[in-house]
Amino acid sequence: MFEKQIIFPQRTHAFYHVPSITVAPDGSILAFCEERWCSPCDDTGECHIVMKKSTDNGNTWVELIHLRKKAGEKYHMGSAVVDPDTKKVLLMCGGGWLQSADNGDTWVDWQPLVHEVEGTTRGSTHGSVPGIVIQYGVHKGRILWPARTIVTSDGYDDLSIPDRRMKCYSMVFYSDDHGETIHSSNYFLQGTGEACLAERLSGDIYFNARAYFDDGGRYTAVSQDGGVHFIEGPPDAQLCEIRQGCNASMIRYPPEMCDGRDILLFANPDSTGKFREHGAVHVSFDGGKSWPLHKEVTTWGTWFDYSSMTVANDGTVLLIYKTTPTMEGIASSPDDCCSMALIRFDLSWLGI
């Protein structure tokens, strides 16, 4: 199975960016993104948080709703996660974090106690990748979110690539009490952000980050203590990365849905050129140490931007990504690539 559809069509004054997708406790699919108002650029003067819901594994979607919207205010997208114990959806986003106890139908403020790392700004889940809940070992049940922090005593300009390279670091938020208290890991991997993470079957946490450099590498780290401390590894030379990097998505396919196999999926623009094009899904059978299999989801010359993945309760992989309104061609300007498309596929389509 391999199917595509637009689920957030770009509209007059409404430009969609930074997708995130997760499965609610009742099996509903929740898709979030930013709705940048009047401008598609990062420095737009107004930005909303929006959501759509599907109750049939991503086949059809209800009307868009606004979770955060106020004239003249900017609310940027962060990371969502589902706590399997409390059945709550926890969403880190601008304008105040949110939580839902009814599968995304209603939302209220979520105000945890956050312990920060001395010498840094408060971290943020900068990007669109959902958090994870640890499944194995002594830290089972711990919630992790990939995040980014700024380490500097000087001013920081997020539109400055040199500032991103010098002052941005990756980090992880984690909680052992269902999101009531948030702790911060060490900061690591200078010049990175918009990262994704996954739990290896060994219990280690594998971290894979966008880097703001021109060396074509995805930067990596590993934690052996449940996400409290990360040790930097070498850049992953097997995964292509465009200049200055791009947000990517990564998930573990649930072992209980595939006879216990070790399957990690990673998606990004599989290109070293100047365009965010040629989206591909890479497959690892050893927790991200190698990626022997990949398959394109968009062709060369077809826009593939920020993305997020999840696995529906029927085993279908759902990949949401930013693209052009027709899902074809290269964007000639930022105005031309602000729709959200959804791809639905299964393991058989990947050839595994």
pLDDT at 158: 86
Nearest one of 166, 141, 142, 146 to 154, comparing CA atoms: 166
Which residues are 198's β-sheet partners? 206
Concatenated DSSP letters of 86-122? TTEEEE--TTS-EEESSTTSS-EE---EEPPPTTSPP
Residues 252 and 264 sit within 8 Å (Cβ to Cβ): yes
Task: Give the residue ranges of the chain where pLDDT is below 50.
Answer: none
Are 295 and 351 in contact by the 8 Å Cβ rule? The answer is yes
pLDDT tens-place string over residues 258-284: 999 999 999 999 998 889 999 999 999
For residues 281 and 269, give the distance between their C-alpha atoms in angstroms, rounded to a whole number: 9
| Strand-pair partners of 141 | none
Q: What is the SS3 assignment for 349?
A: helix
pLDDT tens digits for range 119-135? 777 778 877 788 999 99
Tell me the pTM: 0.96
pLDDT of residue 122: 76
Dist CA 318 CA 309 (whole Å) = 6
Task: Report how far Cα 336 is from the mean position of its chain's Cα atoms.
Answer: 22
Structural domains present in the chain: 2-350 (2.120.10.10)
Q: Please give the DSSP secondary-structure letter assigned to residue 237.
A: T
Structure confidence at residue 342 (pLDDT): 98
One-letter amino acid at 113 equals L
Taking Cα atoms as reference points, which of 334, 330, 340, 315 lies closest to residue 27? 315
